Structure 1
Amino acid sequence: MGEARRRESQGLPPRAPKRTAAPDTSPRLAPWLPLTRNQANRFVSLTTRGAWVGIGALVLFWLTVRFIGPGLGWWALADG
């Protein structure tokens, strides 16, 4: 039995149609470039967040190599 028949037999109203995302009405960066200002702003915020995640991962890696690994006896530093 299909969803529509089941809902009808149970006395339920028809299911509402799925909502689609509203089209991006922000102005384009350039008439020849298919990129809007909202898309550009989201790209900048995403890459900025990614850069900070990368910086944090680099600091964590450096702390592990320099202090945590030698402190736990996993390896010995060549300069120490």
Structure 2
Amino acid sequence: MGESKRRKAALGEDYGKEQTILPWLPITKTQAQKFVTWTTRGAWIGIGAMIALWFTVRFIGPALGWWEVY
């Protein structure tokens, strides 16, 4: 009997299913990787938006006469 057949016999119904991160948490490793990808992308979008807002408030606003300090 080959290793694959032994593994299939040992795992039973779970053979071919993707592993979860923790036994009590129903999240697969692929789902976790997608979550990390999306949150990283969201963080970079947030950083870009923060830089754009800072640039607007710091340079463009005073050039247009907004937020004058007396």
TM over 0.5: yes
Give 4+ residue runs of structure 1 displaced > 6 Å after superposition.
Answer: none
Deviations 1:6-59, CA, capped at 9 Å, x for gaps: xxxxxxxxxxxxxxxxxxx42110111100001100100111011001100110
**Mapped partners of 1:59, 1:26: distance in 2:** 40
Q: TM-score, normalised by structure 1?
A: 0.61
User: Whose helix proportion is higher, 1 or 2?
Assistant: 2
The match for 2:35 among 37, 43, 47 is 43
Structure 2 residue runs of 5 or longer lacking an equivalent are 1-16
The match for 2:63 is: 71
Structure showing greater Rg? 1
Counterpart residue identity of residue 45, structure 1: T
Counterpart residue identity of residue 26, structure 1: E
Structure 1 residue runs of 5 or longer lacking an equivalent are 1-24
SS in 1 for 2:65: coil
The match for 1:31 is: 23
Q: TM-score, normalised by structure 2?
A: 0.69
Root-mean-square deviation (CA, aligned residues, Å) is: 1.6
Percent identity between the aligned chains? 57
**Mapped partners of 2:39, 2:18: distance in 1:** 20
SS in 2 for 1:56: helix
